[in-house]
Chains A and B, each alone.
Chain A
Amino acid sequence: MGAEEIKNTIAELLFKVLNHRNFEMRDDLTAPDVEGWDSLHHMQILNEIEIHFGFKFKLKDLNKMKDMGSLVAIIQERMSA
């Protein structure tokens, strides 16, 4: 799956959890840039991503997530594993 397609899916999941679209899906987008994306909602967003893509993140994946670009890269890695 391509990075753009994954980003579009994540954007929909962000909307589902945060209930707004006030964000731009840049590679350097981080949680503090997005209204409502606190640690509690971070877990909800990751839940939605896991359910949608059908895998479970490992702790080492979670700790590597610095921004949108790294999240997309981790999803691609998991999808190709």
Chain B
Amino acid sequence: MGEVLEVAIRNATDQDIPFIVETIIQAERSGTQRCALIQLFQCTETELRNYLTLFLKEEMTGCEWSVDSFMIAEYDGNPVGAFGAWIEGQNEWDLSSVMLKSNLMKAHLPITVIQGMLNFQSQIVSVAIPRNKGALQLEYAYVVPHAQGKGIVGKLIEHLVLRAEQSHSEFSAIEVQVFSDNRSAVRAYEKLGFVCTFETEPNEVENLIFPFNRKIKMTKSH
């Protein structure tokens, strides 16, 4: 392991929304130039940033498009990394994170965009992995390029787990979903004790909107 950067970890606030938007877009890209949300919403990157900002401004908890899910790693007063986590199904509405995301999209996307999303139905289903109710879900990790490889993701996970424990919530497992071809991410989670517990069938469509064609779920007991 290389040099460790001494960062401060804190809960995200609305002030962090631009950095969280960047985190979501970079994590969606998984190191490629392909961002499925741009295809899915049939929009430009600027429009996507606007949509994500609208989602994040809502008082939402319990999914990956919620400010409350995120913790921020700061170095010298500037955000250098972020990671989101929530306990699946544990929110004031008792809804799954998929349904909460769907509600955010329904509330903010134009009807025509929602109708257009049906064109990608089979692709979405092909990489959909069920989340276990009551498990701590990790989603959307990003570290700015100059701070990568310095232990920040591991530190963010430590704090996300600690925060979940301190919220008096009991959870038996920690889950993270990654594209299986994102080898560096898979290796990093393996080093942290995660093992592959589910994998989707490879999607062989021609116009793949996702960075890679196969997703896996990695789980760590708690």
Interface residues of A, Cβ cutoff 8 Å to B:
31, 38-44, 46-47, 50-51, 57-59, 62-64, 66
Contacts and interface: CB of A to CB of B under 8 A. Distances in A.
A62 B107 contact: yes
B114 A43 contact: yes
Contacts of B125: 38
Interface of B: 58, 60, 93-95, 98-107, 111, 114-115, 117-118, 121, 124-125
A16 to B, nearest CB: 13
B103 A62 contact: yes
A59 B99 contact: no
A6 to B, nearest CB: 19
Given A44-B114, A47-B114, A64-B93, A39 B107 contact: no
A46 B118 contact: no
B101 A39 contact: yes
A77 B95 CA distance: 21
Contacts of A31: 99
Nearest to A36: B121
Contact of A43 (B94, B95, B106): B106
Nearest to A17: B118
B117 A43 contact: yes
B131 to A, nearest CB: 12
14 contacts: A31-B99, A39-B99, A39-B102, A42-B99, A43-B105, A44-B114, A44-B118, A46-B106, A47-B106, A47-B115, A57-B106, A57-B107, A62-B106, A64-B93
A10 B102 CA distance: 19
Contacts, number: 47
B103 A40 contact: no
A59 B93 CA distance: 12
Given A51-B111, A57-B106, 8 more contacts: A40-B102, A40-B121, A41-B118, A44-B118, A62-B103, A62-B107, A63-B93, A63-B100
A63 B95 contact: yes
Contacts of A47: 106, 111, 114-115
A7 B60 CA distance: 29
Nearest to A39: B102
A59 B100 CA distance: 9
Contacts of A41: 118
A51 B105 CA distance: 17
A15 B56 CA distance: 33
B156 to A, nearest CB: 27
